[in-house]
Structure 1
C-alpha cells in the first residue's frame, strides 16, 4: 500500500494545487468574512483530496493494479483520459478565440456568489467540483 500511495502522491499534489482552489480562495478572501470562508474551503479541499487518494489506492489495490506492470486496460484508460483533456483544452481555446474583441469574459456564477455563500455551501463546493470532473 505504501508503494501505491507513493505512486499516487504526485497526482494528488497536482489536484491540490489546481487552478480551481486557488481562484476560489482568492474570490473567497475578497468576499464578506473572507478569511473564515477561505480557511473552511481549503480545509475541505485538502480533506477531500486525501479521501479521493485513499479511495483510489484502495480501488486500484483491489483491482490488482499495483506494482510496475500496468494492466492493458489501465494504459487505455490513461490514453482516453489524456485525449479527453486535450479535447477540453482545445474547446476552451476555441471558445476564447471566438470571444469578441474588447469584450470581457463572463464571470462564472460561482465567483459572483461568493458573498452569499454559507459554510455548508463552502464545504459542498469541492464535492460539486469533483462531481463535475467525473462527467
Structure 2
C-alpha cells in the first residue's frame, strides 16, 4: 500500500512512534522520518523535504512548529491525526485531507485511515 512512499511521523511517545514505524514498514513505506521526542522545532531538513503522508500527534505537532500545518497544506500532504480526544480543536483548523485516529489505536485503525488517504 505504501510502496515507494515517504512518511513524516510527529509523535512524542517513543513507544507509539516505534509501533507506527513497524506498521509503515509492513505496509512497504520506502522511508519514514520521525520527530517529536521533546524537540520544539522540526529540523530544517524535514521542513524542506517532500512527504506523501504525515502521521501527527495533534498536541505534539502543535508544540513543535507553528509552520508544520502550512507546510503540509501547501504540499498537499494528507494527514493522519492521532488524538486522545476526538473533539480536539487542532483538527478542524487543518484544511487539507485528513483522517483522525483515536489513541489507543489498533493496527487496523491506523491502516484503515492510511488506506482512505492513499488512493
Name the TM tier (shorter chain).
Answer: 0.3 to 0.5
TM-score (norm 2): 0.34
Give the number of the structure whose residues are more often helix, by fraction: 1
TM-score (norm 1): 0.31
Query: Could you say which structure has the greater relative contact order, defined with CA pairs below 8 angstroms and 6 or more residues apart?
Result: 1
Give the number of the structure whose residues are more often strand, by fraction: 2
